[in-house]
Amino acid sequence: MTETESIAYDVVVLGAGPVGENVADRTRAAGLSTAIVESELVGGECSYWACMPSKALLRPVIARADALRLPGLSQAVQGPLDTPAVLARRDDFTAHWKDDGQVRWVEGIGADLYRGHGRLAGPRTVTVTGADGSVRTLTARHAVAVSTGTRALLPDLPGLAEVQPWTSREATSAKAAPGRLIVVGGGVVATEMATAWQALGSQVTVLVRGKGLLPRMEPFAGELVAEALTDVGVEVRTGTSVESVARENGAVVVVTAAGDRIEADEILFATGRVPHTDDIGLDTVGLEPASWLPVDDSLRVTGTDWLYAVGDVNHRALLTHQGKYQARIAGAAIAARAAGDPVRAEPWGPHTAAADHHAVPQVVFTDPEAAAVGLSLAEAEQAGYRVRAVDVEFSSVAGASLYGDGYKGRARMVVDLEDEVLRGVTFVGPGVGELIHSATVAVAGQVPVSRLWHAVPSYPTISEVWLRLLETYRG
């Protein structure tokens, strides 16, 4: 092992995923010298194993489902998807798991990239161990930003290691569709991958320990998605816990708590995420290894004046777009503190990640899509708001009927009866992912219901669901 001299920067960023890249982009734009450290591919989980490959897999599935609802087109798409072509397009979206383009982007903003395993080695100090064993020491004059994200959580089950289960990484990068696939879990990864692989040729069985799918959304979201999955041949088993797994003659064998035996060719565990902080030197700065990193609204780690935790690693909102939003806030806060300027902490100020508390949007790219922002009815009531839920079926919207025969979906807005603003909105139905930003603006902007009445939706679009919601609320 050889060690070079210490190299000083204004800012050192651990992790070159979209969050770390955006922190570096903002600090470089502010004139701060910045180093980025990455142990895998520049571009991170989202680019190679999550957002981009999963949506590349799902887009042909959703487009075909939309076409099947349209007379005059449905007969042309009755056959199966061309699975090799879909996988090839997925590979293009991941740049075939090569990061040359992302590296050029880092170089273009004027940041320095260090490949290797980065670890904190005391306050404002990061060591980078390269593949050849060489060690570089980087020091940060102003800030170190940890943007190392999360990894899949696998349960402690007998026989699991021998089975070699899929996580989200294998599910999005597989080279062929398994004949039979068991998906364990009921959240976003589970429902999206069940949607994709069933359409690409697998027979999918979903095992959910709880009562239904998408438990963090309004109950009707999971119900409608489960119904649609069942309609296309997925077997959805709720209230089902896995007791053990094994490989027998090449097949995966699952035994449930009820004693049922289920066989498949592969098994995907989509049962949660844990912070990727187990070996980044947290102990050298008085923090617990493998822990989530609590932060204030400027993304600075509690109890420090130099360490930031941005993106999934702080457990505020495990979504790429929220992580990038946090990166913009953190970059602005780091630059302000470096310049000796005041950090403005007022609600919705330039150094405050207020959306993490009040207006987090999410889209689940199943068929139908499920999209939500803000609080569900149950969450709003638990938070102490006096609220009313207003529900509308999309069948009442002319634009939905034009979208395709048999369009099925529902919308809900949760209205604060004291302030008459929206605390949350949920849409379920084909194409609703493109509706959610209008709801995000309404929730984040705390737009009064009386003002929303004058935001006129175009006819005939599915955006007219807003008019139906407001009419229902006014009675």
* Interval 337-389: pLDDT, tens: 999 999 988 888 899 999 999 999 999 999 999 999 999 999 999 999 999 99
Indicate which CATH number applies to the domain containing 20: 3.50.50.60
Q: Which of 320, 355, 390 is the last residue of a domain?
A: 355
In this structure, the answer to whether residues 21 and 118 fall within a common structural domain is: yes
Q: Is residue 233 part of a domain?
A: yes
Residue 4, pLDDT > 80, answer no
Q: Exposure of 377 by Cβ count < 10 A (0-12 exposed, 13-18 middle, 19+ buried)?
A: buried
Q: Total structural domains in the chain?
A: 3
Residue 71 in any domain: the answer is no
Residue of higher predicted confidence among 181 and 5: 181
208 and 135 share one domain: no
| Residue 452 confidence (pLDDT) | 97
Q: Which of 2, 25, 279 is nearest to 135 (CA)?
A: 2
Does residue 82 form part of some domain? no
Residue ending a domain, choose from 271, 300, 321:
271
Whether residue 56 lies inside any domain: the answer is no
Query: Per-residue pLDDT tens for 391-447?
Result: 999 999 999 999 888 899 999 999 999 999 999 999 999 999 999 999 999 999 999
| 246 in the same domain as 165 | yes
Residue 8, domain member (yes or no): yes
Q: Across residues 195-209, what is the average pLDDT? A: 98
The reply to whether 9 and 104 lie within a common domain is: yes
pLDDT at 1 over 80: no
Residues 36, 142 within the same domain: yes
Residue span of the structural domain in which 236 resides? 153-271
Question: Are 175 and 201 in a shared domain?
Answer: yes
318 and 424, same domain (yes or no): no
Which comes out higher in pLDDT, residue 205 or 159? 205
Q: What is the mean pLDDT of the chain?
A: 96
User: Are 142 and 291 in the same domain?
Assistant: yes
Res. 3 pLDDT band, cuts 50 70 90? low
CA 256 from centre of chain? 29
Same domain, 190 and 252: yes
Is 64 within the bounds of a domain?
Answer: no
- Residues 143, 285, single domain; the answer is yes
Establish if 62 belongs to a structural domain: no
Q: Is the pLDDT of residue 310 over 90?
A: yes
Co-location of 253 and 299 in the same domain: no
SS3 readout for 390-421:
EEEEHHHCHHHHHHCCCCCCEEEEEEECCCCE
If one compares 405 and 309, the residue with the highest pLDDT of the two is: 309
Q: Write the CATH number for 398.
A: 3.30.390.30
In a domain, residue 38? The reply is yes
From 253, 271, 289, the end of a domain falls on 271
The reply to whether 420 and 300 lie within a common domain is: no
